Structure 1
Amino acid sequence: MNSREEQLKAFDRLLTIMDELREQCPWDKKQTIESLRYLTIEETFELSDAIVEKNMDEIKKELGDIMLHLVFYARIASETKEFDIGDVLNALSEKMIRRHPHIYGDVEAEDEAAVKRNWEQIKMTEKPKEESILSGVPKSLPAMIKATRIQEKARGAGFDWEEKKQVWEKVEEELAEFKQEFNIEDDKKIDAFKAEGELGDLFFSLINYARFLNINPEDALERTNKKFIKRFQYLETESKKDGKQLNTMSLAEMDEYWNAAKKA
């Protein structure tokens, strides 16, 4: 591992390269904070993929890409004298000190839950009085991640279930309401708008229950996505080896390959 001196030297090297690219490279000179935005989003999702795959080499690579973007944004802002990378890092350090009073102050926090509760409460004091507690949740977040953050922030304000049993009862209640709107036992045309609302309530309550179990629902669903992809690709590959085509196979035939994929 690199020493602190070597780490600082590496960061200084990156800042120097960024300065040179911004001054000399036609592409880098042209970039703006707005033009980098969608690239940063892409890099963030690539990091997320690497984390789910537990691929440390890829995590290192993607962290580097994101670090480049952070330095890039700060360099652009420095050109209009808005702020520079030093301002960014100092503001971050001050925030971390302020939001960890159990480390840098005299507040006690006996466990992780207390730390998170203190964090949200301190964050609330930093907002204008008229601003909602939930205003810090980005509007463009994917719905499942947004639901998780909404629930975490509500919990920080003291609005939360006391026991996971209560949450599961809510899941069952929402499931019953959804079933009532989308009854599989009859052919009556459903009200799609109402059924969508009930399904949303069911998802929200399941995400809430996952939070009580310390399960990240986004990670859980992504792992299932990847599992499905692997099994379906196995079905495609193995059936092709046997001279079969998916569009001519019966569901029973497909199930044989699917079950083989599960065993594999």
Structure 2
Amino acid sequence: MGARTLPDGRSAGGVIPDLVIIGLGPGDLAFTDDRARSYLMDGERTVLLRTIDHPAAAQLADQRTVETCDDLYGSSDDFESVYEAVASRALDLASRGPVTYAVPGSPYVGETSVRVLRDKAKLAGVEVLVVGGESFVDAIIAEVGVDPLRDGLRVIDGRDLPDPLVLDAPTIIGHVDLPVVLADVLSRLDRVLPEDTAVKVLVDLRSATERVVETTVAGIDPELAGYRTSLFISAEPGGLIGAVRTMRRLRKECPWDREQTHQSIVKNLVEEAFELAHALSVLPPEAPGGEPDFAAYADVEEELGDVLLQVLFQSTMAAETGAFDIDDVAEVLRQKLVRRHPHVFGDVEVDSAGEVLQNWDKIKEAEKTGRTSQLDGVPTGLSGLTRAEKLQDRAAKLGFDWDGPQPVFDKVREELQELVDADDAPATLHELGDLLFSVVNLARHLKVDPEVAMRRAGDRFESRFRTMERRGPLDGLSNEELEARWQSAKQAEDARG
């Protein structure tokens, strides 16, 4: 039978277990709980400190003999190995007599070694008594005056920040123990908060060296990092949550935003989607592989934000009706991603990306009930090139497709000749459509996105034509002179690479 862990100084039948875990509190020994001090000063108990690098631990060592685990930090490759070794040492000592294992702060807050020790003690059938202590969180709450329940206080680990980093409530960032850790924290904060956001840096609370530095995200000195350094931030949320709240406020307070409807801003969504597609087309074909083009990525970042605005705008309006909000949108998406990736979230095995796509299509087809054709669900509002590609993809999944690019080349030649032979406007329109449809099919077999190819062709034309204009007025030039100007612009562009 596993051993019990007894909290807050209680013991079974009044008998104190051989292994007692206590918290030293956040600072000087004077702030250590009276019950904890009684176990620390008991001369019949061996005192094992996780580390001597703490005011209460050092002050205790001046008053009695102690053992520490500091040597284990230098002999292990990672923290998990350290904590395993600490737990083994504590249990070994407890097998030979009463032991008090003491940790900084509270044994219940941020002390992985305590969790590991309790687990190992349970397996070994060793009874453990845990005596709580004031944590660094308690000390910070007292210093800054925040109410954890009312204000929704969040506590996160500076060495393992969540991603995405959401700061929509008062937040304590602990374990900011090294300058490199603090620098990483500041880098992350800089991405989701304005640089003038107020921050409190709390150093060595409950000790003679206590400092509270009120500064900004941009003004924090990395040298303030230390084993008992934490940050406290209470600011308007930035990042994704900040964008959601900003959109909600705009909808209430901005006359233009307030009068919009779902339909009135559809054109904005389409426009922003095309601008994003253009920004993406500027990236190197191998991106995100290869050397990153940060200037191009800056444009992509901005255009992604503009598309996100449309998602937030539509979701905010839907929330006003009670239909759904942005959280619902995100959760429906999350469930869909999990459902359509059984090879990641389930027990399905796949050997290639092709199998992943096949599974995706099968699951998607099962989800879409009421369809009567393989072509159902292809939006009519897509651009002509993209819709043609989608229709061809759907038909190809049932085997209605060319075997490779060569027969498609032949089909393009055939359609071109039929266009040449067209003898009236309706026939010309018909044959030109067939030719373009065949070219899209060729692009699909060549694994080229026809929209990207067309957009880049348009960009090249615009660049060359502007070069022609910079070299002088074009009005009045003969066809031969215009062609010469064009060829010169083209050669200049080719030379630039």
TM-score (norm 2): 0.47
Q: Could you tell me which of 264, 285, 288 is aligned with 1:35?
A: 264
1:234 is displaced (CA, Å) by: 1.4
The 3 A distance-change label for structure 1 pair 103 and 148 is: same
Q: Deviations for 1:58-77, whole angstroms, at most 9, x for unmatched residues?
A: 21111111112211211111
Give the secondary-structure state (helix, strand or coil) at the position aligned to 2:252.
helix
1:253-264 map, 5 Å: 253-264=481-492
Matched, 1:224 2:448: no
Mapped contact 1:102–1:109 kept (Cα < 8 A) = yes
Structure 1 gap segments, 5+ residues each: 183-189, 241-245
Give the 3 Å change call, closer, same or farther, for CA 162–97 of structure 1 in structure 2. farther
Partner of 1:4: 163
Secondary structure of residue in 2 paired with 1:160: coil
Q: Which has the higher helix share?
A: 1
- 1:60 equivalent in alignment to 2:288: no
Give the corresponding residue for 1:186. none
Distance in 2, matches of 1:130 and 1:5, equals: 38
Query: Which residue identity does 2:163 align to in structure 1?
Result: R
Code of the aligned partner of 1:33: H
Paired residue for 1:132, among 360, 373, 377? 373
Q: Distance in 2 between matches of 1:48 and 1:86?
A: 26
Q: Deviations over 1:92-114 (max 9, x none)?
A: 11111222233233444433333
Worse overlay, 254-263 or 127-136:
127-136
> Which residue is equivalent to 2:385?
144
AA at the equivalent of 2:307: I
Distance 1:247-1:16 versus aligned 2 partners, 3 A rule = closer
1:211 has 2:444 as partner: yes
- Closer/same/farther in 2, CA of residues 100 and 147 from structure 1, 3 Å limit: same
1:1-264 alignment runs, 5 A limit: 4-6=163-165, 10-54=239-283, 55-179=296-420, 181-182=421-422, 190-240=423-473, 246-264=474-492
* Cα deviation, residue 89, structure 1: 0.8
Conserved in 2, the CA contact under 8 Å of 1:120 and 1:157? no
Distance (whole Å) between structure 2 residues aligned to residue 150 and residue 162 of structure 1: 17
1:56–1:135 CA distance, 2 compared to 1 (3 A): same
Q: Distance in 2 between matches of 1:114 and 1:162?
A: 19
Whether the 8 Å contact between 1:120 and 1:156 is mirrored in structure 2 is no
Once the two structures are superposed, residues 24-83 of structure 1 have per-residue CA deviations (whole angstroms, 9 ceiling, x without a partner) of 222222222122212212211221222223321121111111112211211111111111
- 1:97/1:158 CA distance change after superposition, 3 Å: farther
Distance 1:226 1:73, change over 3 A: same
Larger relative strand fraction: 2
The verdict on how the C-alpha distance between 1:196 and 1:110 changes in structure 2, with shifts beyond 3 A counting, is farther
Cα distance in 2, alignment partners of residues 120 and 8 from structure 1: 38
Distance 1:237-1:99 versus aligned 2 partners, 3 A rule: same
Larger radius of gyration: 2
**Distance change >3 Å, CA 202–CA 37, structure 1 → 2:** same
User: Is contact 1:118–1:156 with CA below 8 Å preserved after alignment?
Assistant: no
In the TM superposition, what whole-angstrom CA distance separates every residue of 1:90-138 from its partner, at most 9, and x where no partner exists? Answer: 1111111222233233444433333333323322222224432222111
Instruction: Say which SS state the counterpart of residue 472 (structure 2) adopts.
Output: helix
CA deviation after TM superposition for structure 1 residue 7, in Å: 5.3
Deviation by residue 1:146-175 (Cα, 9 ceiling, x = unmatched): 101111222233432232233233223323
Out of 112-121 and 94-103, give the one that drifted further: 112-121
Secondary structure, in 3 states, of the residue corresponding to 1:139? coil
1:224 maps to a residue whose letter is A
Distance 1:109 1:161 in 2: 26
**Structure 1 116/170 Cα, relative in aligned 2: closer, same or farther at 3 Å?**
farther
> How many equivalent pairs are there?
250
CA distance in 1, matches of 2:333, 2:167: 17
**For the structure 1 residues 56 and 5, does the alpha-carbon distance in structure 2 shift closer, same or farther, using more than 3 Å as the test?**
closer
Q: Secondary structure at the match of 1:248?
A: coil
Q: Report the 3-state secondary structure (helix = DSSP H, G, I; strand = E; otherwise coil) of the residue aligned with 2:376.
A: helix
168 and 143 in structure 1: CA distance in 2 versus 1, 3 angstrom threshold = same
Show structure 2 runs of 5+ residues with no match: 1-160, 169-238, 284-295, 493-497
**Within 2, Cα distance between the matches of 1:101 and 1:262?**
50
